[in-house]
Amino acid sequence: MADLVVIGFPNEAKADEGNDSYRPVFSGNQDRTHESRMDKSTRPLSALVFAFALWAVMPPSIAAASTASDTVREFYQTLLYNMQNGPSVGQRGRVARLAPVVPRVFDIPYMTQLAIGPTWMTLPEPQRRQVLQAFERYITAVYAERFDKYSGERLEVIGEQPTSHGTMVKRYN
């Protein structure tokens, strides 16, 4: 069974009017200079859904080749590079950097099938391939867009905790 990988969501600060900071919610106990537009009561549920989604879609090859922490660290390194060099490399550069990492971190075929639902089984194979490619490009573009500025954020893994469903990566105390 694949390892459970828990990472944080970037908050909605980027969309707030007049707020140029972009602080992903990765390092835990930082002061917040703004409030997320997401209702506080839905945050735990959203985090749980995201954590489960990552666990469910992580390719078995990643689990076999490395630990869950290694997978998260590789993804974090790519995100940090994009954040630190975002303005100079531009959207295309950030996409180019993320493109090889995204299919190693996410099980794109499984995620796509879940997103499409029962209709997936009715699609001819050429159309399935097109949808898979489009979904992979979409995920890559979203991360490239949202992780584009650096203001001293730290993305770190502080340990792992075995669970009955695999391994949970601890990202903050």
Domain-embedded: residue 100: yes
| Distance in angstroms (rounded) separating the CA atoms of residues 33 and 68 | 31
For every one of its 173 residues, what pLDDT tens digit does the chain have, with 9 covering 90 and above? 344 444 433 333 333 334 333 333 333 333 434 444 444 455 555 554 555 555 555 555 444 446 778 888 899 999 999 999 988 999 999 999 999 999 988 889 999 999 999 999 999 999 999 999 999 999 999 999 999 989 888 888 888 777 777 766 666 54
Domain-embedded: residue 1: no
Q: Which position has the token pair 């989604």? A: 53
> How is residue 154 written in tokens?
């730290």
Domain-embedded: residue 6: no
Q: What are phi and psi of 14, to 5 degrees?
A: -60, -35
> How is residue 127 written in tokens?
């159309």
Domain-embedded: residue 2: no
Domain-embedded: residue 4: no
| Distance in angstroms (rounded) separating the CA atoms of residues 111 and 44 | 21
Please tell me the predicted confidence (pLDDT) of residue 164. Answer: 77
Q: What is the pTM of this model?
A: 0.58
Domain count, the chain: 1
Q: What are phi and psi of 10, to 5 degrees?
A: -70, 145
Boundaries of domain holding 102: 12-170
Please tell me the predicted confidence (pLDDT) of residue 63. Answer: 44
Domain-embedded: residue 75: yes
Domain-embedded: residue 146: yes
Please tell me the predicted confidence (pLDDT) of residue 71. Answer: 85
Tens of pLDDT, residues 66-89:
677 888 889 999 999 999 998 899
